[in-house]
Structure 1
Amino acid sequence: MLTGKQKRFLRAKAHHLNPIFQVGKGGVNENMVKQIGEALEARELIKVSILQNCEDDRDEVAREISSRSGAELVQIIGNIIVIYRESSENKQIELP
């Protein structure tokens, strides 16, 4: 579980990132969760964009992605989700 200070630090780090995944009409599927897990292992901090044609609620999508990929939800702002998971082999971000 991330503290408020850690979330603030991660939000600042994520500010300049571009979303690398998009959740569309199909919602969250197993293949997407697998790819998000691989991206988190490589980058630790990623943004996911929720498209307008997504039928699910953005909070529900954020919870589903974070729980199924074993990541921490850092922020939901507009239709962008920021998630973090510490990498086991490629640790780049040192949390305060």
Structure 2
Amino acid sequence: MLTSKQRAALRAAANTLDPVFQVGKGEIDEMLIKSTADCLAARELIKMKVLETSMYNAKEAAAILAEATGADVVQVIGSKFVLFLKKKKESKFEDILKAAR
């Protein structure tokens, strides 16, 4: 669980990120969940976008993907959301998380 200061620091770090995946008009399936989990394992912090044709809004999609991958929802703004999953070893966000405690 992230504190509000940690969440704010991660929001600042995610500000310059481009969305890596889009949630389209189909359902959130196992393939999207696996791809999101793999991307989180590699990057730790990712931004995603929900298309207007999707059956989910950004808050719903963020909650579903966060629960399925074990990630934390950092931010939901408009049609975009940010997920964070800290690596067990050698996290590049360790300094940000410690400073924000």
Q: Shorter-normalised TM-score: what interval? A: over 0.9
Which residues of 2 match residues 70-81 of structure 1 at below 5 A?
A: 70-81=70-81
The residue type equivalent to 1:35 in the other structure is: S
Q: Does 1:46 align with 2:46?
A: yes
The residue type equivalent to 2:52 in the other structure is: Q
% identity of equivalent residues: 40
Question: What value does the CA root-mean-square deviation take over the aligned residues?
Answer: 1.1
- In structure 2, runs of 5+ residues without a counterpart are none
CA contact (8 A) 2:19 2:48 kept: yes
The residue type equivalent to 1:24 in the other structure is: G
CA contact (8 A) 1:42 1:90 kept: no
Partner of 2:92 in structure 1? 92
Divergent runs of 4+, >2 A: none
Task: Say how many residue pairs are matched.
Answer: 96
Partner of 1:35 in structure 2? 35
CA contact (8 A) 2:33 2:65 kept: yes
**More moved, 49-58 vs 83-92:** 83-92
**More moved, 39-48 vs 83-92:** 83-92
> Normalising to structure 1: TM-score of the pair?
0.94
| Deviation readout 1:47-73 (Å, 9 max, x if unpaired) | 010001001232211110100011000
- In structure 1, runs of 5+ residues without a counterpart are none
